[in-house]
Amino acid sequence: MPPPHEGGKKGKMHMIDGLTADQETQIKKLHTGFEKELLPMRAELKTKKAALEQAQIGDNVDQAKVKVAIEDLFALKTRMAVMKADHKQKVRKVLNEEQRVQFDSMMLDRKERRGGKEKRGGRCAPPDAPPPPRQ
């Protein structure tokens, strides 16, 4: 079993075989920069979600404002998704061919695990939960 990351924090990179100290340093630096750049965007995302919710309540909902709020929210989500894709490619460039295969497999597994969950009542349902009743 691979050892946990420094400081007791487990990261996904420990699952990639044969990382050199230099690769670990480069990846950690990339990840730190990425998270630093993403942090204010996450805060902005919360604000935009709240603005959308606010635009949709009340007696006289202005659909134009709702549309703008939706467009703003998804423009930010798109920027964040592009940043994430760029970050993954930067990490991949640090890895050798075998490690890239492991990394890609790890990303696909993660995507499948997340994609298999249905949201119900604001929480993710366990994979073996029955489907919600039809109305």
Residue-wise pLDDT for 11-58, tens only, equals 566 678 899 999 999 999 999 999 999 999 999 999 999 999 999 998
Domain that holds residue 74: 19-106
Query: Is 125 part of a structural domain of the chain?
Result: no
CATH of the domain at 94: 1.20.120
pTM of the complete model: 0.70
Query: Is 129 part of a structural domain of the chain?
Result: no
Query: Is 126 part of a structural domain of the chain?
Result: no
> Left if phi > 0, otherwise alpha if psi is -120 to 50, otherwise beta: which for 7?
left
How many structural domains is the chain composed of?
A: 1
CB 117 within 8 A of CB 124: yes
SS3 119: strand
Closest CA to 19 of 6, 35, 7, 32: 6
Q: Give CA 36 to chain center in angstroms.
A: 14
